[in-house]
């Protein structure tokens, strides 16, 4: 991955306390997993930044490489990868996600 892409990804991740790479947008998620994570965050009243990885194939591949995580969505908190849909839902259910965000 080139330095320009790495900086772009880090800039996005650090633009908000909570940042989500997803398929589609928070208003119109393009897959069920992205929808579940968006709904979970909204349910917790969390404001978050996002990037539609379907809008940019180069970014889609680069983010996977950057995070070493093969699937989307990918949720970041304070610049660190939290995980994908299953982990986010598990953490939301246990109350851990809310604690981390607060």
- 38 pLDDT higher than 90: yes
What pTM did the predictor assign?
0.95
Domains and CATH numbers, the chain: 3-101 (3.40.30.10)
* Chain-centroid distance, C-alpha 50: 7
pLDDT of residue 1: 85
Mean per-residue pLDDT, 23-38: 98
pLDDT in tens, 2-18: 999 999 999 999 999 99
CA distances 14 to 5, 20, 49, Å, are: 14, 11, 9
Average pLDDT value over all residues in the chain: 96
pLDDT in tens, 49-78: 999 999 999 999 999 999 999 999 999 999
Phi, psi of 21, deg, nearest 5: -90, 125
Alpha-helical runs (H) found in the chain:
3-13, 32-43, 57-67, 85-94, 96-101
Single out the residue of 25, 19, 29 nearest to residue 63, CA to CA: 19
């Amino acid at each position: 991955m080139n330095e320009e892409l790495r900086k772009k990804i880090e800039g996005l991740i650090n633009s908000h306390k909570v940042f989500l790479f997803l398929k589609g947008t928070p208003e119109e998620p393009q897959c069920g997993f992205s929808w579940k994570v968006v709904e979970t965050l909204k349910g917790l009243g969390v404001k978050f930044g996002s990037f539609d990885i379907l809008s940019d194939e180069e970014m889609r591949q680069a983010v996977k490489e950057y995070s070493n995580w093969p699937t989307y969505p990918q949720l970041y908190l304070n610049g660190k990868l939290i995980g994908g849909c299953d982990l986010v839902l598990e953490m939301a259910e246990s109350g851990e996600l809310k604690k981390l965000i607060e």
